[in-house]
Amino acid sequence: MNHLNVFIFIIAIFSIITEEFPHFHKHHKPQGWKSKNIKDKKIIQFGKEAVGQFNKDFYSNLKFAKVLEAKKKNTETDKHYSLKILAERDCGENSIDCSQEIGAEIYKKIENPKKLSIYAYKN
């Protein structure tokens, strides 16, 4: 009887390892977009970093003003943030419009959450 129990235990472990029973594994299920609080410190930091990336990519000198909209979506491999950001530039006294709306897509990998991939673009 002991040999039968050991055999069943080995089969169960093998099945779990080879993902025969996928409900034993805890995965991040892909979800739709969820709105995020635009006043959240992390979202504001992402906005500032996105403006910095925009300045590098477009040889600009914008300054972060505020986040207008923020959304988040989880995927199997990363957390994806989509931001609309209001940025300003120093236009002097006579300028009418010194603000610009930009967009940013930010990816935070699950296996390396400290490294961000930031794609900033003109809206």
Domain boundaries, the chain: 28-122
pTM above 0.85, yes or no: no
CATH architecture for segment(s) 28-122: Roll (3.10)
Residue pair 100/80 in contact (Cβ under 8 Å)? The answer is no
CA–CA dist 87, 53 (Å, integer): 12
Handedness of CA 17, 23, 24, 29 (dihedral sign): positive
CA–CA dist 81, 91 (Å, integer): 30
The pLDDT score that the predictor gives to residue 19 is 61
In this prediction, the residues of the chain whose per-residue pLDDT falls under 50 are: 25, 28
Retrieve residue 117's tokens: 């991939």
C-alpha dihedral, 88 to 34 to 19 to 111, nearest 10°: 20
The pLDDT score that the predictor gives to residue 113 is 84
The tens digit of pLDDT for each residue in 67-96 reads: 999 999 998 889 999 999 999 988 777 656
CA–CA dist 106, 117 (Å, integer): 6
**Residues 6+ positions from 80 with CB-CB distance below 8 Å:** 72, 73, 74, 105, 106, 107, 108
The pLDDT score that the predictor gives to residue 97 is 67
The pLDDT score that the predictor gives to residue 43 is 97
